[in-house]
Homo-oligomer: A and B are copies of this chain.
Amino acid sequence: MQRMQDTGLRLFYTQGYFNTSVDDVLKELQMSKGAFYYHFDSKEDFFVQIIQTNLTHRMYASLIDPIKSHENPLVRIVKCLEDNLETAVHNELDFGCLLGNFIAEFNGRNETIMKHLNDILAIWEVSLVTALQKGKFNGHLDRHVDCEAVSLYIISSYLGIRTLMVGTAPSAKKYRFMSQLKHYFKSLEARPITA
């Protein structure tokens, strides 16, 4: 069962959902169609279940939990994104951000699936906002910072760079991206009292 979902997610991620057939998944698993349709109502149902368990777990593990801390959120976020980009650089078969790719693939095309993807996105966003607000309270961020906007900007740029890094020179792109992210973050820091 775990194996089915792992394999399914891997194939959907690497080849795209519409470009991956149930037979593809079955071949990889050496499993019969009967077994598959005994466990899942349809290809879509299969994918929804993958999202709810597998994809959600991965998002928590890589992008949500790592920023939960009482330290300076800007520092935590930088480290978290840096780690994720570094992993991507060293991953031979990187195809971008799991969540980002699926959102791009299903945007406006499948309401059911988008609902589940948006749920994860919302959790991610909220966890960022929460971390930033805590940082404001703790004096790490300037009090004029718009946490929702910053959160959105971070997610946007991250989804974008993950897509762009699939192409050539991922490592160089990672450095360039991180340099600008840090630059941007510096402008969010609490201003010295000397104003």
Contacts and interface: CB of A to CB of B under 8 A. Distances in A.
Interface stretch (A25-33, A63-71, A101-109): A101-109
Interface stretch (A47-55, A131-139, A142-150): A142-150
Given A15-B109, A104-B100, A156 B153 contact: no
A176 to B, nearest CB: 4
Interface stretch (A2-10, A34-42, A163-171): A163-171
Of A158, A159, A179, A180, most B-chain CB atoms within 10 Å? A180
A32 B111 CA distance: 32
A16 B18 CA distance: 9
A152 B156 contact: no
Contact of A160 (B14, B19, B156, B176): B156
Given A150-B180, A187-B186, A166 B19 contact: no
Interface residues of A, number: 49
Can you tell how many copies of this chain the complex includes? 2
Interface string A93-129: 1011000110111011100001000100100000000
A173 interface: yes
B105 A167 contact: no
Contact of A149 (B114, B158, B177): B177
A190 interface: no
Of A16, A103, A121, A179, most B-chain CB atoms within 10 Å? A16
Nearest to A188: B183
Contact of A173 (B18, B103, B152, B188): B152
Given A114-B167, A146-B179, A156-B161, 9 more contacts: A96-B107, A104-B104, A149-B175, A153-B180, A156-B160, A156-B163, A156-B164, A159-B164, A184-B184
Which 10 residue pairs are nearest across A and B when measured between Cβ atoms?
A: A156-B160, A149-B176, A160-B160, A153-B180, A159-B160, A157-B157, A18-B18, A104-B104, A156-B161, A107-B166
